[in-house]
Structure 1
Amino acid sequence: MLIRILNTLRSRIWDMVLFLFSDYPKSTVGEDGESPSLSNKNH
């Protein structure tokens, strides 16, 4: 039971980390306007 909870927590944390790291650079680059292709994917 405890192992299952730890596994779900770890997967949740990794999902959040991957989401933040994959979403953050797009928004910053989109604001700078250096890479139009990334900003288009964001919309």
Structure 2
Amino acid sequence: MNSGDSQKFFRSAIIWTVISVIALLLLFIAQGPLLGKICGLTLVGF
């Protein structure tokens, strides 16, 4: 494994990390209003 391969691997690993972090953030943001509604309904239910 020469330095070019490891550099490529490192770069793709960083890209995948960034993509998964963004995806998780988007999921969290999308779930925000839903979680708020669920919490509100639970509080109203009690």
Asked if these proteins are the same fold (TM beyond 0.5), I'd say yes
Identity %: 12
In structure 2, how many angstroms separate the alpha carbons of the residues matched to 1:31 and 1:14? 26
Gaps of 5+ in 1: 34-43
TM-score by length of 2: 0.61
Name the one with the larger helix percent.
Answer: 2
Larger radius of gyration: 2
Aligned to 1:18: 19
The count of aligned residue pairs is 33
- Structure 1 residue ranges, 4+ long, deviating more than 2 angstroms after superposition: none
Cα RMSD of the aligned pairs, angstroms, is 0.9
TM-superposed deviation, 1:21:
1.1
Determine which structure has greater relative contact order: mean sequence separation of CA pairs < 8 Å that are 6+ residues apart, divided by chain length.
1
User: Aligned pair 1:9/2:30, yes or no?
Assistant: no
Partner SS for 2:26: helix
TM-score by length of 1: 0.65
